[in-house]
Amino acid sequence: MKETSYNPQLSRRKFISNLGCLTISFSLIGTDWAEAKPKIVEENLPGALRRQPRLDAWLEVLGDGRVRVLIGKMELGQGVRTAIAQVAAEELDLALNQIEVHLAETERTPNEGYTAGSGSMENTAMSVRYAAAFARQKLLEMAARRWQTESDQLTMANGVVSRKGKKQTLRFAQLLNGAQLEGEVKLPVKLKSPETYRYVGKAIPRTDIEQMVRAQALYVQDLRMPGMVHARVVRPPVYGSKLLSFDEQAFASKAPDLLKTVIDGTFLAVVAADEYQAVLARQSALEHARWSSATPLPEGQDLAQYIRGFPAKSQKVKEQGTTEALDQKDGKTVKASYFKPYQMHGSIGPSCGVALYKEGTLHVWSHSQGIYPFRDALAKMLGLEAEKVHVIGVPGSGCYGHNGADDAATDAALVAMAMPGTPIRLQWMREDEHAWEPYGSAMGMEAEARLDDTGKISHWRYSVWSDGHSNRPGGNPGNLLAAWHLDKPFPQPSMGYFGGGYRNSEPYYDIPNLKIDAHAFEGPLRVSSLRSLGAYANIFAIESLMDELAEKARQDPLDFRLAHSTDERAIAVMKKLGKMIENEKNGPNEGIGLAFSRYKNVASYCAVAAKVAVDKNSGEVKVLGLWAALDAGQVINLDGVINQTEGCLIQATSWTLKEEVGFGQQQISTRDWTSYPIMRYTEVPKVQVVVIDHPELEPLGAGEAAQAPTAAALVNAIYRASGKRIRNLPVKSVDEVG
């Protein structure tokens, strides 16, 4: 696939006009066309396409016959470009190299909100599928009218329409003849039958992997422009601290290469022509700035208990039957409390943004997960019209949720506004990333269940305590870090989306009586969306308790789960996992544990097993193997699904065994990789993933499915290896378990 370059010197109008493309958009009602067993869908268009049904919002036919697909999603390492190209090439009968995928860009691609929640395949890929199928149908109709024949007498391949039995062909560009046809995608749309697929379901390699391996320019961190200068932000030492004074004259004398100092309230940035000089200037600026103190953090508190002491807004998630039997003291009930600490995204590449303010328009290059919501928030913060802020999505090195991408781009924009006409590249320092990014909330869970005389769960009661799980920009400047520090600051809003806190809090099992409650608190640290939101902690608690219940019922853990499952797809992934590990043998101090979940209880099914060894002397846990069986509906790119699942397994293992945001009374203390360790390459175990494909079904997002059950599989394995139940994360050492 050919990729377009990012050129801030071109206006959007010139950029589009210079591409030599012919935009196609149709409003005609379809007629029959030749295709083996077409799938006719009569219900609704996919969500994103339903909201923006104009075909020219999704597809452009270029002058050379290739097709450019426009999507509002970002490439976050999930391989969305490749998967989207597969879907479009399939429906348009094109080769993969004839499809170009253009990532999120305001006023150019559809507004698809955020790239989050494993929704790119369910929403974007399906929107592109319908748009491409509709375009194919219309192109055939146009050719049929040109030749005064029927559509079923035509074929299409590699951007050329041919007439059966005739030596008549028309390339897409010839057929359109420079016209721009307007209209909307309308039902019915005939989709290709899975039996005819050439690309969908195959393991198509991503074209950007080679660029990564060769360390070629790929990420926003790599972006360079003529005349670009470099900036760094000088952060306050703690949350809530204010800039009292800055000795700019003394600072300037020690920073001879300084181009500019930008001060707006507590926001302080330095600019230099060379990046290293900007780093040195930042260090010097820290020595000449005086800051106020702020509200102390709860150092030394038992965080698991501390978060339950916050004022909380409680809500009933679900109640079914009665749970009074859980209060009986007859030995049939198992009850336990669980805890997950604050965790960070830990992006390998520190967040970065590039900005240029020129001729009244602010151009911003960012790895934001939501370019339109970010644009709206940034425009309000700066007092600009939204149309005067042009955001171009560029992949970033590491994401996993709402990290510092929007904030770094905001920092760059503030500096760019102070230096019109100059491209500004602003990258965070590692300590900025670790100390100021929005974390995943600490969470407390309490679960209890009762077994009946047959060993089945009869009653279940569950409570979860959590901060919010989404404070994304969402058009609100108060969710941008720099907006808190301006001379006229925007206050940080109260808790964002709390639904993420009780995501997957309801067990996906057949239990007649249950009660689920959620308690929302506002904690001391900045929080937002981290991969899988609350599902990771909730499934850790639920599947740990399921293991204890299985033991109490004297049943095999897998059989116990199967006995409580009625969903055939859930049963299938659990049985597949059982087959994957049936020949694994445990040595001394080794154990195998498993867990299951259905992501959000409506998306992908995933069963995970882990094998660990526990050192009897040190209590150190070594992970020997990880297995996952996954059902994500129809597979678009098999390689992508496997890669994402492997990534989930390894990252969740790192969370479970190592990761915890630490803080003292004054500030975040985990500001580097030594104080916040993550899993190293040498610690990665053997990993095996099996995907159950359902080409007859719609695809389900797979990017977060394995994140949730991995923690429980690990701690259940640790129990079998050591006899100790883990209820507080991270594990670090089994000897630390009381």
* pLDDT (tens digit per residue) in 232-278: 999 999 999 999 999 999 998 988 889 999 999 999 999 999 999 99
- In whole angstroms, give the CA distance from residue 710 to residue 231: 40
Choice between 269 and 210, residue whose per-residue pLDDT is larger = 269
Of 308, 320, 418, 427, residue with least CA distance to 365: 427
The confidence score (pLDDT) of residue 36 equals 39
The confidence score (pLDDT) of residue 738 equals 45
DSSP state string for 465-521: EE--S----TT-GGGSHHHHHSSSPPPPPS----GGGGTT-S-SS--SEEEEEEEEE
DSSP-H helix ranges across 383-469:
405-418, 430-436
Choice between 7 and 665, residue whose per-residue pLDDT is larger = 665
- In whole angstroms, give the CA distance from residue 289 to residue 283: 11
Q: Which fold has domain 225-293+350-436?
A: Aldehyde Oxidoreductase; domain 4 (3.30.365)
Examine the pLDDT at 41 and tell me if it is beyond 50: no
The confidence score (pLDDT) of residue 528 equals 95
Examine the pLDDT at 12 and tell me if it is beyond 50: no
- The answer to whether domain 225-293+350-436 and domain 310-343+439-736 are alike in fold is yes
The confidence score (pLDDT) of residue 81 equals 93
**Domain boundaries, given as residue ranges, for the chain:** 12-211, 225-293+350-436, 310-343+439-736
The confidence score (pLDDT) of residue 255 equals 87
- CATH dotted code for 310-343+439-736: 3.30.365.10
Name 83's Cβ contacts closer than 8 Å, sequence gap at least 6: 120, 121, 125, 636, 637, 640
- In whole angstroms, give the CA distance from residue 25 to residue 57: 8
* pLDDT (tens digit per residue) in 410-424: 999 999 999 999 999
- In whole angstroms, give the CA distance from residue 550 to residue 563: 10
SS3 561: helix
- In whole angstroms, give the CA distance from residue 101 to residue 207: 12
The confidence score (pLDDT) of residue 180 equals 53
- pLDDT, average across residues 13-36: 32
CA-angle at 85, arms to 82 and 91, nearest 5°: 145
Under the banding of pLDDT at 50, 70 and 90, the label for residue 29 is very low
Domain 12-211 has CATH 3.30.365.10: yes
- In whole angstroms, give the CA distance from residue 185 to residue 189: 8
Examine the pLDDT at 37 and tell me if it is beyond 90: no
DSSP-H helix ranges across 188-291:
208-213, 248-253, 275-287
The confidence score (pLDDT) of residue 2 equals 32
- In whole angstroms, give the CA distance from residue 401 to residue 328: 43
- Pairing status of strand 21-23 against strand 59-62: antiparallel
- In whole angstroms, give the CA distance from residue 56 to residue 138: 13
Residue with tokens 């329409």: 161
* pLDDT (tens digit per residue) in 544-595: 999 999 999 999 999 999 999 999 999 999 999 999 999 999 999 999 999 9
Under the banding of pLDDT at 50, 70 and 90, the label for residue 78 is confident
Query: Which of 63-77, 315-329, 562-576, 708-722 comes out lowest in average pLDDT?
Result: 63-77
Tokens of 7: 């050129």
Examine the pLDDT at 27 and tell me if it is beyond 50: no
Examine the pLDDT at 5 and tell me if it is beyond 70: no
Percent of the chain with pLDDT over 90: 80
* pLDDT (tens digit per residue) in 281-311: 999 999 999 999 888 888 778 899 999 989 9
Query: Which of 31-35, 114-118, 398-402, 606-610 comes out lowest in average pLDDT?
Result: 31-35
Contact, 504 vs 600, CB < 8 A?
Answer: yes
